[in-house]
């Protein structure tokens, strides 16, 4: 893998400070362009443009994803200067597993025991709550979420009106995404796709977690 990284050095515009700093981080962590794109969920063409210096003004959200992955602030990634002590605001970088709607039903014990060695899909985020996991959006969530968007779920949050929740219907073989609507004593689960019917939330339905963050993806 390191050989692939070194071969890529010739393609980098050395006058672009961000490109050089990003390349150095890739070399330090022995990760190539394709693997970095996969693990950060940044489209590889976007990442390639940054590395080659062709993107003069990359989106802050993209820089933030890269910075979080390497355990840096955005300023550190752009400038190449790493701060210490009081100069740097401390943050906890965690990797959470990205699981399927079927895996959700296996419970928190199963999710908590997943390791990087045995599970391929992970996402790095700041200050992840205990038990958090990622889950991909589906066609049923379009157009609100492009297909492939990663929803980040906290299984310990108490849901409130308007929250997006991952729910398990009785006898269902996989979980699903719904919006929780609370009006006094009445609770409804609303589909993101208007072609589906809303359901009354009752004791037969279990909320598995609340979506508190998401990472958009515009590629399938």
Q: Is residue 220 part of a domain?
A: no
Same domain, 149 and 45: no
Same domain, 178 and 70: no
Distance (Å, whole) CA 75 – CA 66: 11
Q: Tell which of 87, 103, 124 closes a domain.
A: 87
Q: How many CB atoms lie within 10 A of CB 179?
A: 17
How many structural domains are present in the chain? 2
Same domain, 111 and 204: yes
Q: How many CB atoms lie within 10 A of CB 12?
A: 16
What is the CATH number for 41?
A: 1.10.260.40
**38, 47 contact by CB (below 8 A):** no
31 vs 125 pLDDT, higher one: 31
pLDDT-based confidence at 174, cuts 50/70/90?
A: very high
pLDDT tens column, 124-156: 787 788 899 999 988 888 778 887 789 999 999
Same domain, 60 and 103: no
Q: Tell which of 71, 87, 103 closes a domain.
A: 87
pLDDT-based confidence at 5, cuts 50/70/90?
A: very low
What is the CATH number for 158?
A: 2.10.109.10
128 is in which domain, residue-wise?
A: 94-215
Question: How are beta strands 186-190 and 176-183 bridged, if at all?
Answer: antiparallel
Same domain, 172 and 112: yes
pLDDT tens column, 72-113: 877 788 877 765 544 444 456 678 899 999 999 999 899 988
Alpha-carbon radius of gyration of the chain:
20
Mark residue 150 as left, alpha or beta (left: phi above 0; alpha: psi -120 to 50; beta: remaining). beta
Same domain, 64 and 132: no
Q: Residue 96 is encoded by which pair of tokens?
A: 């959470």
**144, 124 contact by CB (below 8 A):** no
pLDDT-based confidence at 218, cuts 50/70/90?
A: very low
Q: Is residue 14 part of a domain?
A: yes
Distance (Å, whole) CA 130 – CA 9: 39
Q: Give the residue from 178, 173, 163, 172 showing the smallest Cα distance to 212.
A: 163
């Amino acid at each position: 893998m390191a050989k692939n990284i070194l071969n890529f050095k010739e393609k980098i515009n050395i006058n672009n400070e961000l490109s050089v700093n990003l390349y150095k981080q890739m070399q330090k962590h022995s990760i190539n362009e394709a693997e970095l794109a996969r693990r950060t969920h940044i489209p590889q063409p976007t990442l390639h443009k940054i590395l080659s210096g062709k993107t003069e003004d990359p989106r802050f959200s993209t820089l933030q994803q890269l910075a979080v992955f390497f355990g840096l602030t955005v300023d550190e990634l752009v400038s190449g200067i790493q701060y210490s002590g009081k100069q740097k605001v401390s943050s906890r970088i965690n990797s959470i597993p990205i699981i399927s709607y079927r895996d959700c039903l296996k419970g928190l014990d199963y999710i908590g025991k997943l390791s990087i060695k045995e599970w391929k899909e992970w996402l790095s985020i700041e200050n992840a709550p205990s038990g958090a996991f990622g889950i991909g959006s589906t066609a049923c969530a379009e157009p609100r979420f492009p297909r492939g968007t990663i929803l980040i779920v906290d299984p310990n949050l108490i849901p409130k009106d308007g929250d997006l929740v991952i729910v398990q219907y009785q006898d269902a073989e996989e979980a699903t995404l719904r919006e929780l609507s609370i009006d006094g004593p009445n609770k409804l689960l609303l589909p993101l796709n208007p072609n589906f019917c809303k359901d009354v939330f009752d004791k037969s339905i279990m909320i598995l977690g609340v979506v508190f963050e998401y990472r958009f993806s515009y590629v399938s």
